[in-house]
Chain A
């Protein structure tokens, strides 16, 4: 199997740049997803019916439809909703990060909900019995403990998100997969290019996995159970 690796090696600077963009897109989506996720988890656990129903509808929609479809939907819907006549420069990045963030928000909401519910009821009872409001109990007692427990599933979500960012190539975002595909087409060397792309993804997901393991160790050091 005579593979020509020259194209892949020559494209390292471009792939580096593209990989960095992939990381940035993922980081942006994670940030949005964490905020939405926390809010939706709390809404889902709220005593108010309307909040609960809204949260469930949100989660059902973004978990029950393909990310690919959501990317297109957001891409076309946002300018319509905001009445934009012309799209801003680099609009596809905004749409891409937003779509991924909205999508991961649904998954992260469920992760947070599970984490909050896994904390023994006695913890909030103890906090409430000391006169703390529900918000104070959540902030000082429940969430710090829940956060520790959700780090492993959050790590999974971040890794999935990083890989899924390859879907953003569909709206012409020049992230890692997009760049590999373009070069593969130009040089007629698809196999080396996609192997290179796979290696880049693997390295990045490994970095996330390592970071998650580190966080888990650091936050778990006072937790002998």
Chain B
């Protein structure tokens, strides 16, 4: 589903990604962990070209990410959920979900609204359709953001530390929605600090540090018997 070959990314002189190779299969849930500054968010953001790779190749769903045309086509198929929600504050929850369907997918307003309400129901917020983001809690905003991404019927979902900006009591409600998605067979790449989630839901864990993939494997294996000393040090600090 996603092929990444020798991906490098510089910010100015700083090399953030130092040659990433990775293959993500359909319906796979890949969890990316690592210390902050390890390049995991940058890696994720390269996958839908919110960051421009300095060199290397990325192929998503058979389409190489090289021209602007391809980028817009890819972004339709790849949903993304951000740490800071990024809901559109001048629109209600349902309007947030309708907008891109109408503008990008050319879905009729009635149909887009129907899809939106179904998705709000799915994330447990059917009573909040007409609320503005300011009136919603962080957890609720993040669930709307997930619904907004899902409305585009993406084949892949990217999650960029989606629970890091949340109060602790709201983390669970967002993770629950993500777990449901994983169970339904969505292809997911999840950057997170939630090790419980990684262990329970992840098919594979990727440990990144200093811009390279230090270790990857089956979650239980990586968590119980990390081979790389960096992984061992990282896990011993957080588990």
Q: Is the CB of A225 within 8 A of B134?
A: yes
Contacting A at CB under 8 A, from B84-101, are: 84, 86-90, 99-100
Q: Is the CB of A140 within 8 A of B99?
A: yes
A: which residues have CB within 8 A of B? 120, 122-123, 125-133, 136, 140-141, 144-145, 148, 222-225
Min Cβ gap A36→B in Å is: 25
Q: Is the CB of B104 within 8 A of A222?
A: no
Q: Which residue of B lies closest to A221 (CB)?
A: B132
Contact of A132 with B104 at beta-carbon distance under 8 Å, contacts A122-B84, A223-B134 already known: yes
B: which residues have CB within 8 A of A? 48, 50, 72-73, 75-76, 78-80, 82, 84, 86-90, 99-100, 103-105, 132, 134-135, 145, 148-149, 152
Q: Is the CB of B90 within 8 A of A131?
A: no
Min Cβ gap A153→B in Å is: 19
Q: Is the CB of B72 within 8 A of A123?
A: no
**CA–CA, A122 to B145, complex, Å?**
12
Q: Is the CB of A224 within 8 A of B134?
A: yes
Q: Which residues of B contact A125 (CB under 8 A)?
A: 50, 82, 86
Q: Which residues of A contact B149 (CB under 8 A)?
A: 129-130
**CA–CA, A34 to B84, complex, Å?**
33
Contact partner of B103 (CB less than 8 A), chosen from A120, A122, A140, A224, is A140
Q: Which residue of A lies closest to B145 (CB)?
A: A126
**CA–CA, A190 to B114, complex, Å?**
70
Q: Which residue of B lies closest to A126 (CB)?
A: B86
Min Cβ gap B77→A in Å is: 8
Q: Is the CB of B90 within 8 A of A136?
A: no
**CB-defined A-B contacts under 8 Å, sample of 22:** A122-B82, A122-B86, A125-B86, A126-B82, A126-B86, A126-B88, A127-B88, A127-B100, A128-B75, A130-B100, A130-B104, A131-B72, A132-B104, A140-B103, A144-B90, A148-B90, A222-B89, A222-B132, A222-B134, A223-B90, A224-B135, A225-B134
Of the listed residues B103, B135, B149, the one surrounded by the most CB atoms of chain A closer than 10 A to its CB is B103
**CA–CA, A129 to B49, complex, Å?**
9
Contact of A120 with B99 at beta-carbon distance under 8 Å, contacts A129-B48, A223-B134 already known: no
**CA–CA, A223 to B135, complex, Å?**
10
**CA–CA, A146 to B231, complex, Å?**
45
Q: Which residue of A lies closest to B92 (CB)?
A: A222
Task: Please give 15 more A-B residue pairs, beta carbons under 8 A apart, in addition to A129-B48, A129-B80, A133-B72.
Answer: A120-B86, A125-B82, A126-B80, A126-B82, A126-B86, A127-B88, A131-B104, A136-B104, A141-B88, A141-B99, A144-B90, A222-B90, A222-B134, A223-B89, A225-B134
**CA–CA, A224 to B131, complex, Å?**
12
Min Cβ gap B160→A in Å is: 10
Of the listed residues B75, B86, B105, the one surrounded by the most CB atoms of chain A closer than 10 A to its CB is B86
Q: Which residues of A contact B103 (CB under 8 A)?
A: 132, 136, 140
Q: Which residues of A contact B79 (CB under 8 A)?
A: 129-130
Q: Which residue of A lies closest to B100 (CB)?
A: A130
Of the listed residues B75, B87, B134, the one surrounded by the most CB atoms of chain A closer than 10 A to its CB is B75
**CA–CA, A125 to B86, complex, Å?**
8
Q: Which residue of B lies closest to A133 (CB)?
A: B72
Q: Is the CB of A130 within 8 A of B86?
A: no
**CA–CA, A125 to B103, complex, Å?**
16
Q: Which residues of A contact B86 (CB under 8 A)?
A: 120, 122-123, 125-126
Q: Which residues of A contact B90 (CB under 8 A)?
A: 144-145, 148, 222-223
Q: Which residues of B contact A141 (CB under 8 A)?
A: 88, 99
**CA–CA, A222 to B84, complex, Å?**
20
Q: Is the CB of B152 within 8 A of A131?
A: yes
Contact partner of B50 (CB less than 8 A), chosen from A120, A129, A133, is A129
Q: Which residues of A contact B72 (CB under 8 A)?
A: 131, 133
